[in-house]
Amino acid sequence: LRMLTTLLPPTSGTARVVGADVVVDPEKVRARIGYVGQLTSGSFAQRVRDELLSQGAFYGLSKPAARSRADSLIESLELGDFANRSVQQLSGGQKRRLDVALGLMHAPPLIFLDEPSTGLDPQSRANLWQHINTLREQYGTTVFLTTHYLEEADRYAERVMVMDRGRVIADDTSAHLKAQLAGDVVSLRVGSLEEARRASHIVGALTDRDVRAAGTNISVTAPDGDALLPAAVRALDAEGITVLSASGVPPTLDDVFLALTGRTLRDAHESHTTDDTLTVEGASK
């Protein structure tokens, strides 16, 4: 992310952001992007409105234009009640909303958000995402974000990239990644071990995926679980096997990451070093 925002020079390779080369023309990149880092951007002693006006001046906005833009963002991000407070008086969620406003002051077509909701309580996270989505719809800004909360990428991103050890190992829509790499988990419970053995063969004939058995329970992970579940129940009933319970659980991006790497995101995050880093990036427009 720091290379794409021209804060860190790449050692090799090329990248173009908003049509400009990050090495050849970094000034053009900076002029056309917004960036919200992991730390609070505002100066703690300054008032919210003054911070926004200063940001507008940095980007060459006239005073009337800066005031108009600041007022619009204050309204959109519901900062009106805090506009005359100093940054240090804001809560964590309010500071993040101010950070987003600062990144949008010069109306960039693209904004980078580096783990924007890390450290926020669930209510503040939900509130922040509501405002991000509203701004995206209102201003048409493309949002490029990194997050370790995979449910955020799953819910909000139109395109998901999974990075492991510095390499992109998956790049697709969330729905397609889950269908192709994880799949729905279909579970069935029957009355006896003998019925479970027979049921495993019957269900196995309906799909090319391996069927797992544990006592009187069988399960299978398949991309078409919603269609497989009723078909399996009908097939077992036709063979005289009564299904005592049945369920289908849709996959998550955590399942995708496990399928890609063989370990959970928690394992990867806790064991990462300088050469073993991971992030999930979501781009939405």
Please check whether residue 162 is in contact with residue 131, taking contact to mean a CB–CB distance below 8 angstroms: no
Q: What is the pLDDT of residue 3?
A: 93
CATH of the domain at 133: 3.40.50.300
Q: What is the pLDDT of residue 165?
A: 81
Model pTM score: 0.76
Q: What is the pLDDT of residue 93?
A: 86
Domain final position from 92, 127, 147? 147
Bridge partners for 281 per DSSP: 146, 161
Q: What is the pLDDT of residue 264?
A: 56
The CA–CA distances, whole Å, from 46 to 12, 20, 37, 87, 102 equal 40, 33, 19, 6, 13
Count of helices and strands (H, E) across the chain: 11, 12
Say how many domains are in the chain.
2
| 175 found inside a domain | no
Identify whether residues 188 and 142 lie together within a single domain: no
Given the structure tokens 């190992």, which residue do they identify?
A: 169
> How many other C-beta atoms are found inside a 10 Å radius of the C-beta of residue 267?
14
Q: What is the pLDDT of residue 21?
A: 96
Going residue by residue through the chain (285 aa), what tens digit of pLDDT does each one get?
Answer: 899 999 999 999 999 999 999 999 999 999 999 999 887 777 888 999 999 999 999 999 999 999 999 999 998 888 999 899 998 899 888 888 899 999 999 999 999 999 888 878 888 888 888 888 887 888 888 999 888 888 888 988 999 998 888 888 889 999 888 888 888 899 999 999 999 999 999 999 998 888 999 999 999 988 888 899 999 999 999 999 999 999 999 888 888 888 888 765 555 555 554 444 445 555 555
Q: What is the pLDDT of residue 50?
A: 94
| 128 found inside a domain | yes
Identify whether residues 23 and 139 lie together within a single domain: yes
| 244 found inside a domain | yes
Identify whether residues 22 and 142 lie together within a single domain: yes
Identify whether residues 135 and 202 lie together within a single domain: no
| 276 found inside a domain | no
| 169 found inside a domain | no
| 114 found inside a domain | yes
| 214 found inside a domain | yes
Identify whether residues 134 and 195 lie together within a single domain: no
CATH of the domain at 222: 3.30.70.2470
Three-class SS of residue 108?
coil
How far is 144 from 148, CA to CA, in rounded Å?
14
Identify whether residues 188 and 143 lie together within a single domain: no
Identify whether residues 143 and 204 lie together within a single domain: no
Provide the b/e sequence for 183-193 (b: ≥16 CB within 10 Å).
Answer: bbbbbbbbeee
For residue 198, the enclosing domain spans 184-249
Please check whether residue 188 is in contact with residue 203, taking contact to mean a CB–CB distance below 8 angstroms: yes
| 215 found inside a domain | yes
Identify whether residues 35 and 118 lie together within a single domain: yes
Identify whether residues 21 and 128 lie together within a single domain: yes
Pairing of strands 211-214, 278-284: unpaired
Identify whether residues 124 and 216 lie together within a single domain: no
Phi, psi of 29 (to 5 degrees): -60, -50
Q: What is the pLDDT of residue 243?
A: 95
Identify whether residues 38 and 119 lie together within a single domain: yes
Identify whether residues 71 and 136 lie together within a single domain: yes
Q: What is the pLDDT of residue 179?
A: 81
Domain final position from 120, 147, 174? 147
Three-class SS of residue 86?
strand
Domain final position from 123, 147, 171? 147
